[in-house]
Amino acid sequence: MIQEKQSMDYNGNFYQSLGSGISVFSLIIITNLLARRDTYLLRSSNKRLASAKRSEDGSVVRKNINNVPHRQLPDRHLSPRFTRPIGIRYADKRFDSRKEFNLLWLRLRRFRQSVVENSWLFLLNGRSLGSSLLISLILFPCLQAIAADSKPNVVLILSDDMGYSDLPKFGESEIPTPNIDRLANEGTLFTEAYVTAPVCVVSRMGLLSGQYQQRFGMYDNIYGEEKVRLFLDQTLLPSVFQKAGYRTALVGKWHLNGNKRKQYTRGSPLQRGFDEYISFLGGDSPFWKGTPVNRGDDPYPAPEYLTDLWGSEACAFIDRNQANPFFLYLAFNAVHSPMHALDADQDQFSNIEDENRRIYDGMLLSMDRSIGRVLQRLDTHGIADNTIVVFLNDNGGGESTERYAPHSRNFANNQPLQGHKFDVFEGGVRVPMMIRWPGQVPADSVYGKMVSSMDLLPTLVEAAGLPMPSDQPTDGVDLLPFIKGENTSTPHEWLSWQNRSWLPRKEGGFVVPTPNIHNSAIRKGNWKLVRLNENLDSGVRPPAWQLYNLETDIGERNDLADKHTDIVKELSSQFDSWRSSMHPTIE
């Protein structure tokens, strides 16, 4: 289901600002009239002022400032509160959702007092209309600050190449992940979550654009600025938050700016909606201390093990921005190869015989530790209740055989799913996912209907009350009404996948991407249709579809295509219709 979401046109901002300014001007006049009840102002014949006003506890405190010309009044007499950011969230007080209304009301009262005091002072200075207009211009940002203050923060956590069953919440895992588990305990866990592709680049394109990346011709990890031109024209999730005044940051893997050898001039995180970032070039990186990473355009050696560094940087970003709305995209490169784990972490798994698996376990353990530090930081600042935390994985876990190149081999556990990274079987595209937003998203809850990583853009944007990008389609849907039980239908009747095949080399060796040879799949209800190695160039009949019933065969091992030709016909027709609405592959 494709939803063409129409929303606020950014071109209308001028008129909105003008209208808001007029509204504030009207508010000032009204508050001036109301102020007569609780503000007493005297005006001397020589335009010198005396005022009395209510103190914080409501009692009237008289401040005699006669004989002091208005223009010489120190700022604190103008209004001590006016000089303080009105929308600031008080870091030393826990923002309890149960007290949210009272806090908001308190801020509005403080704001009204500022309006009253300052507008009267300006008005008494003999410049009524001009001063009030000036106040409107000054106070409008304050109104925006108040509105922004109620906006939820976002922490979007992505893991890389993790196996579906490597979290205790999803399978038989030997790896303790108490911090990721905490997100499920305090939020909603999704058992049928999918990414849009079984490899890094295209999966991240779908996640951050809220669309099938096939809309801009992307069917694999393709590099070259001209080839990804259509993607570079898309508005991405961080841009939506950045335009709304959020502070936005990427910490970790980007991989949407080319590979290690070729970077795009328009693909930097700074050009895609992030105010700041710390990352590395390409799709994978060594993890050791001293590895070169980039903070903005400035390279420097990582001061600690990379997964720990991402945790440290995420915490530092939260520290810097805990008093204002922020959007943090925390994209771990764990547990993508190369297989580098700290000794102390892999030593926790001395009972595991396979050394490669011990290393994998240690890498995942360190990621969970960093996630725990981030969650603790939200608690420390008292902003956990006002922060949406999302966790998901970018594609299925890598294989453990030498068919796969070392950069795609990480000894993950996808059981009982069929396939791995690169595959359109469940093992390539079904991923663990969870969302925590205390008071808004049901806690300790499981949502079992099909959802997509494309849904996160509309879900997060709608949750923050922001306008959707108006100049591009959205294939995702807002999940909140579904997981709250307000909408009992299904977010997606069907989902489709198409990705370039990775086939073994003719001369031997590990699998490689093969131009114009594609794998395809569509899932509708519990039926999953899969077609492997279709040659898009040839006129030969494409390979037959395989049909699986995921309700009874989650491992996609019992092909039922011959028994249910009507279902094959229906779903294949649906797939063809979807494919014809996408952009042809750019390879």
Of the candidate spans 110-118, 232-240, 286-294, 386-394, the one that interacts with Ca ion by CB under 5 A turns out to be 386-394
Nearest CA to 204 out of 148, 277, 254 is that of: 254
Nearer CB in complex with Ca ion: 324/519: 519
Nearest CA to 412 out of 171, 194, 157 is that of: 171
Q: How far is the CB of 501 from Ca ion (least distance, A)?
A: 17
CB atoms within 10 A of CB 252: 29
Q: How far is the CB of 26 from Ca ion (least distance, A)?
A: 53
Nearer CB in complex with Ca ion: 201/464: 201
Q: How far is the CB of 510 from Ca ion (least distance, A)?
A: 17
Task: Name the active-site residue from 70, 142, 255, 583.
Answer: 255
Q: How far is the CB of 447 from Ca ion (least distance, A)?
A: 24
Nearest CA to 584 out of 215, 232, 226, 234 is that of: 215
Comparing every residue's Cβ against Ca ion, the nearest one is: 200
Nearer CB in complex with Ca ion: 315/456: 456
- Each residue 393-422 as x (binds Ca ion by CB under 5 A) or -, in order, gives -xx---------------------------
Of the candidate spans 33-41, 194-202, 259-267, 366-374, the one that interacts with Ca ion by CB under 5 A turns out to be 194-202
Cis peptide before 335 (omega within 30 of 0): yes
Nearer CB in complex with Ca ion: 335/532: 335
Q: Give strand pairing partners of 92.
A: none
Do 542 and 529 form a contact (C-beta atoms < 8 A)?
no
The single residue among 175, 193, 200, 466 that binds Ca ion, judged by CB under 5 A, is 200
For residue 255, indicate whether it is catalytic: yes
Of the candidate spans 33-41, 137-145, 199-207, 243-251, the one that interacts with Ca ion by CB under 5 A turns out to be 199-207
Tokens of 489: 């239908």
Task: Name the active-site residue from 70, 77, 142, 200.
Answer: 200
Interacting residues with Ca ion between 139 and 178 (CB under 5 A): 160-161
In one letter, which amino acid is 321?
N
Do 490 and 449 form a contact (C-beta atoms < 8 A)?
yes
Q: How far is the CB of 149 from Ca ion (least distance, A)?
A: 36
**N-to-C CA span, the chain:** 27
Tell me how far CA of residue 85 lies from CA of 88, 241, 291, 416, 451, in angstroms.
Answer: 6, 20, 40, 54, 40
Of the candidate spans 181-189, 213-221, 389-397, 406-414, the one that interacts with Ca ion by CB under 5 A turns out to be 389-397
Interacting residues with Ca ion between 526 and 545 (CB under 5 A): none
For residue 315, indicate whether it is catalytic: no
| Total chain residues near Ca ion (CB under 5 A) | 5
Nearest CA to 496 out of 53, 115, 196 is that of: 196
DSSP-assigned states of every residue in 67-136 = TSBGGGS-HHHH-TTTTS-TT---TTS---GGGHHHHHHHHHHHHHHHHHHHHHHHHHTT-HHHHHHHHH
28 Cβ contact list (under 8 Å, min separation 6): 115, 119, 132, 135, 136, 139
Q: How far is the CB of 200 from Ca ion (least distance, A)?
A: 4
- Each residue 11-30 as x (binds Ca ion by CB under 5 A) or -, in order, gives --------------------
For Ca ion, the binding residues (CB under 5 A) are 160-161, 200, 394-395
The residues annotated as belonging to the active site are 200, 255
